[in-house]
């Protein structure tokens, strides 16, 4: 089993920045990739960014150039640095861990971009 705990969400003005953290514990050796997803009200959940064990990253077109995903293996933590936020980034952000046999979700953290 893998447990994921997100933090760092909140209210920010348009153009502002936030950094989300996702701390993993448990059977972390089984994890080969992690991703950040978001779900806005009335919308489907979408992949925002992902990072593999080797450090390869992938981003949704809507966040390229503004968001950066990174991982600190020593801390078992994945980060999502979000810059130049706009109202369309408002959503619940969740991290997901992938293992060969399963996947795990965190509880999510709310990000609200509003003036």
Give per-residue pLDDT as tens, 26-85: 888 888 899 999 999 999 999 999 999 888 999 999 999 999 999 998 899 999 999 999
What is the tens place of the pLDDT at every residue in 88-110?
999 999 999 999 889 999 999 99
Distance CA 16, CA 41 (A): 21
Q: Which residues contact 40 (CB under 8 A, 6 or more apart)?
A: 88, 90, 91, 92
The sign of the torsion formed by the CA atoms of 105, 99, 75, 80 equals negative
Distance CA 94, CA 5 (A): 9
For 86, the token pair is 């706009």
Distance CA 81, CA 93 (A): 12
* pLDDT computed for residue 54 by the predictor: 86
Q: Is 100 left (phi over 0), alpha (psi -120 to 50) or beta?
A: alpha
* pLDDT computed for residue 64 by the predictor: 98
């Amino acid at each position: 089993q893998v447990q994921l705990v997100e933090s760092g969400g909140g209210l920010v003005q348009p153009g502002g920045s936030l950094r989300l953290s996702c701390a993993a514990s448990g059977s972390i050796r089984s994890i080969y990739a992690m991703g950040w997803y978001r779900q806005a009200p009335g919308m489907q959940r979408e992949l925002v960014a992902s990072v593999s064990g080797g450090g390869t990253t992938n981003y949704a077109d809507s966040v390229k150039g503004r968001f950066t995903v990174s991982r600190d293996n020593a801390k078992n933590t994945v980060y999502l640095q979000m810059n130049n936020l706009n109202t369309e980034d408002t959503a619940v952000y969740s991290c997901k861990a992938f293992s060969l046999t399963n996947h795990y979700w965190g509880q999510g953290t709310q990000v609200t971009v509003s003036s």
